[in-house]
Structure 1
Amino acid sequence: MAVSVLFRVWRRPFLVLCCAFFIVACESMPKPMRNLGKTDVDFVMDVHVKEQKELLMELTRKMYVRNPDQLKKLDDMTIEDRMLQMFGRHDDIELPSLVFEELGGKTGIEAILLSFDESFQGDRVFAAMVGLTEMLRRSYNHQQEFFILDSLDEQALYNSARNIEVFVWRLYQRKNSQDELFLLTNHVTDGEFDTSFDRIFAKMTMIQDMMALIVADKTNRSITKVAQGVAQFVFLPIP
């Protein structure tokens, strides 16, 4: 009887420990073998995170094309250099750190705010994209791939979706003392209005909202939703 009781007490921690070792081992396995440590939800999360990264890269390129003066603030800097700093190489396992001396060590929401600070003389596109990218990475626990024991915070995902909307509003509304937008986005070309930025932002927001719903359903937890008017457009914390 004593042996039976001890087995029941230790069985769950033992199984959890075994699963943890299995997941760690999965990360160094070839992809077909790693997939054994995934649920259907994990596969869905992997796809969403990959798509979000592609959208961030596309947005970064477009922002620099639309604001070429920002890239010129550093000698010999190219779009590819900036992309490498933020996203690393395609085959990199680890994500690059998004803390940079030229931004005063600010990242996440603080870096986004820096891009709209009139006293800031640096590359505003870099500050904005470093901040946006880091904010979204935090909502994913800085992970690029997910396994059985991994868990995300549905509130962080929801808040990050709202923060994208706040970021977009600031892009379109915030101006300097010369009544000029800090960063340019949508514009009219040959009489046609370019809304490609809007489409990217809409996709990014949709991905975060979808991830929040998936995680909330998986964990059986609820999301605290926030009602915001334009006058209340402030960035929400990422738990």
Structure 2
Amino acid sequence: MSGAFFMRAWTGAFGMKKYSRWFLALMPFICAGCKPTPPVNGHVVPEAKLSKGQLIQSDPNRMANLEIRNNLDTLYLLMDKLYKRNPSEWKKSGAASREEAEARVRNAVDQHTALPGLTERDTKAMQRALDPNFKGDRVGTLIYGLGDMLITAHGGKRVMYLIDGLDAQRVYNAARNVEIAMWLLAQRKDSAGQPLLLSNALSERDQNLSYERLFGSMIGRTDLVAEFTAEKYRRAVIDYGQSFFGGQFLQFLPVSEVAGAASSL
């Protein structure tokens, strides 16, 4: 008995040495495969810092929160670009500077309250801004309407938690509203035949489609969250079924002597 025991121990030790050499030889390749892709020109994937609120947020919550955060950031960038290209608009708001006009719009959107001096909200504010007869600040009104509409589509919230839910159809409709606003911005003209707001430019001298790209990024994010939300409950049923059947029929079979002996009792 003792001779067989030492023979097995020696064979196991010899085998371990052989596999250890192979493992050490393959280690550089394994580490190379685990090494993250280096950033190009300093472009690194943005990653939100861990906060207390994330502990009570599900994966769908986090996805929706990142979407609305990034969409609002894009919207404010769009506002800044539109104000710079249409400087007469912010002066109509009564603000002392462009920065003050932008701060008013941002505060109204972030607080989900009415914009000072404007009675319309969400889609009605968007319609007002793109009305050829409107004499007020088109840029501020349009950006406010878009932001208020996006937050309204997310249940009136910028941050969602476990107890919150999304209506997939409302989020999908919000993406379509952004598409409509983009098209109207490019097409609507005043009585003199001039664009209501200068944005994209496509000519032999000037080519600038940055406004369209900003609109497109908002549409893409919103559409993705809408589709993900629509599949959430279906995926919950599928995940439950996979765990149930997997737990019942996909059990690993014993391979060791101890487990085999125990299973035969």
Residues 84-129 of structure 1 deviation map (CA, whole Å, 9 limit, x = unaligned)? 222239xxxx9324423522x1111111111122332111111111
> Does 1:200 pair with 2:219?
no
Residues 40-74 of structure 1 deviation map (CA, whole Å, 9 limit, x = unaligned)? 22222221111111101101101101111111224
Residues 142, 83 of structure 1: alpha-carbon distance in 2 compared, 3 angstrom cutoff = farther
Find the aligned partners of 1:193 and 1:168 in 2 and give their Cα distance.
17
> Does 1:109 pair with 2:123?
yes
Structure 2 counterpart of 1:178, from 184, 192, 199? 192
Structure 2 counterpart of 1:99, from 114, 135, 140? 114
Aligned length, in residue pairs: 187
Q: Which residue of 1 is the match for residue 68 of structure 2?
A: 49
Residues 132, 32 of structure 1: alpha-carbon distance in 2 compared, 3 angstrom cutoff = closer
Structure 2 counterpart of 1:40, from 50, 59, 64? 59
Greater fraction of residues in helix: 2
Q: Which residue of 2 is the match for residue 168 of structure 1?
A: 182
- How far residue 75 of structure 1 moved from its aligned partner, in angstroms, is 4.4
Residues 101, 143 of structure 1: alpha-carbon distance in 2 compared, 3 angstrom cutoff = closer
> Does 1:72 pair with 2:91?
yes
Residues 175-230 of structure 1 deviation map (CA, whole Å, 9 limit, x = unaligned)? 11111111110125883401100110110000110110111111349xxxxxxxxx
* Structure ID, larger Rg: 2
Q: Contact 1:85–1:96 at 8 Å: present in 2 too?
A: no
Query: 5+ residue gaps in structure 2?
Result: 1-49, 236-265
Q: Which residue of 2 is the match for residue 82 of structure 1?
A: 101
Find the aligned partners of 1:217 and 1:162 in 2 and give their Cα distance.
19
Find the aligned partners of 1:97 and 1:151 in 2 and give their Cα distance.
18
% identity of equivalent residues: 28
Relative to the length of structure 1, the TM-score reads: 0.71
Find the aligned partners of 2:170 and 2:114 in 1 and give their Cα distance.
21
> Does 1:58 pair with 2:71?
no
Q: What is the RMSD of the two structures over their aligned residues, measured on CA atoms? A: 2.4
SS of structure 1 residue aligned to 2:110: coil
Find the aligned partners of 2:52 and 2:112 in 1 and give their Cα distance.
29
Find the aligned partners of 2:213 and 2:184 in 1 and give their Cα distance.
17
Query: 5+ residue gaps in structure 1?
Result: 1-30, 222-239
Structure 2 counterpart of 1:143, from 157, 177, 181? 157
Amino acid at match of 2:201: H
Residues 140-199 of structure 1 deviation map (CA, whole Å, 9 limit, x = unaligned)? 122222211210110011101111111111111111111111111012588340110011
Find the aligned partners of 1:75 and 1:34 in 2 and give their Cα distance.
38
Q: Contact 1:102–1:122 at 8 Å: present in 2 too?
A: no
Find the aligned partners of 1:100 and 1:41 in 2 and give their Cα distance.
30
Q: Contact 1:86–1:98 at 8 Å: present in 2 too?
A: no
SS of structure 2 residue aligned to 1:57: helix
Q: Which residue of 2 is the match for residue 129 of structure 1?
A: 143
